[in-house]
Structure 1
Amino acid sequence: MNIQIDQKDFELLIEYDQIKKRIRLIGIQLEVDYEGRVPVFVGVLNGSFMFLGDLMKEVGISSEVTFIKVSSYEGDQSTGKIRKEIDLYMDLKDRDVIIVEDIVESGNTLKHVIDIIKEHNPASLNVCTLLLKPRKLNQDLEEITYVGFEIPNEFVIGYGLDYNGLGRNLKDIYRAEHVPTET
């Protein structure tokens, strides 16, 4: 199925049923890894809200949730400049922290968030991301522990990810269609 958002064409990449199954498996792994502990899930807004919401339904252990908002995108391109828009308002000292991301591409934004959280001296710090673009990653991020799907270096929307603010509400994930170039 193809869709159009803000005059840009997209094609289906990952169906919601696949997303739900993968999230259930991640939830099980988190329950095992954090048994007997009370982790804090830090959602990175805006994109992680759907993933974090569904993930929390699959995590049966006691846990807390908070958010941070940083941004670097305009349209479908990163500006390279990271802005903190909403700061953390929770004490994370000696806590087990799990950063929840919608997508990790270059890793620059995530590295920035990791550095912010490390200033709070957590007991442990791991990252759970729905999508990872391994070929675009230019940071060494050993904290990435839980990955839903590895995807090619393509622009994607849906399930919390947007294009010019649109498409976050789509339950499936779509990739931008390639426009053939003339030779």
Structure 2
Amino acid sequence: MKIQIDHKDFELMIDHEQVKKKLRLIGIQLNVAYEKRVPVFVGILNGCFMFMADLMKQVHIASEVCFIKMASYEGDRRADTVKSVIGLNTSLKGREVIIIEDIIDSGNTLRKVIDLIKKEKPASIAVCTLLLKPDAVQHDFEEIAYVGFEIENDFVVGYGLDYNGLARNLKDIYRAV
């Protein structure tokens, strides 16, 4: 199935049923790993909103949720700098922190977020991402613990990911063709 967004063509890459199955698996892993703890899930907006909302429905342990907003894209290109638009509003000192990302490509946004969170002196940091582009990552991350799908270095939209602000609402994930 092909679609067009803002004069750019995309084809179906991952359908929503695959995403839902992966979310159930990650939810089980999180429930087991954090069974006797109360982690703080830190979502990186805007992209994580669909993934995090659906993931949290699979998390059945006591937990807290907060968000930060970072900006690293201009259209379909990664920007040279990552900007913090909305910062943390919850103390993370001594807490188990799980960062929720929609996608890790260069890793620049994640690097900045981890550095910000480390300043808060959490007990631990784990990263949960829906999509990971191993060939695009420019940093080493020991914190990446939960990965939905490893994908090629394609530009993708849907399920929270956008192109010029469009397509975040699509339930499936599409790649540019």
For 1:99-178, list aligned pairs within 5 A: 99-177=99-177
Query: In structure 1, what residue type is equivalent to 2:16?
Result: Y
The DSSP-based 3-state class of the residue aligned with 1:3 is strand
Instruction: Kindly report structure 1 stretches of 4+ aligned residues shifted beyond 3 Å.
Output: none
Give the Cα separation in 2 of the matches to 1:79 and 1:152. Answer: 19
In structure 1, stretches of 5+ residues that fail to align are 178-183
Give the Cα separation in 2 of the matches to 1:68 and 1:118. Answer: 14
Superposed CA RMSD: 0.4
Query: In structure 2, what residue type is equivalent to 1:167?
Result: A
Q: CA deviation at 1:42?
A: 0.2
Q: CA deviation at 1:29?
A: 0.2
Give the Cα separation in 2 of the matches to 1:106 and 1:72. Answer: 10
For 1:60-79, list aligned pairs within 5 A: 60-79=60-79
In structure 2, stretches of 5+ residues that fail to align are none
Query: In structure 1, what residue type is equivalent to 2:165?
Result: G
Q: CA deviation at 1:152?
A: 0.3
With the length of structure 2 as denominator, give the TM-score of the two structures: 0.99
Counterpart check, 1:90 vs 2:90 = yes
Q: CA deviation at 1:128?
A: 0.1
Give the Cα separation in 2 of the matches to 1:59 and 1:72. Answer: 28
Identity of aligned residues (%): 66
Query: In structure 1, what residue type is equivalent to 2:5?
Result: I
Alpha-carbon deviations, 1:2-53, whole Å to 9, x = none?
Answer: 1000000000000000000000000000000001100000000000000000
The DSSP-based 3-state class of the residue aligned with 1:58 is coil
1:181 alignment counterpart: none
Q: CA deviation at 1:173?
A: 0.1
With the length of structure 1 as denominator, give the TM-score of the two structures: 0.96
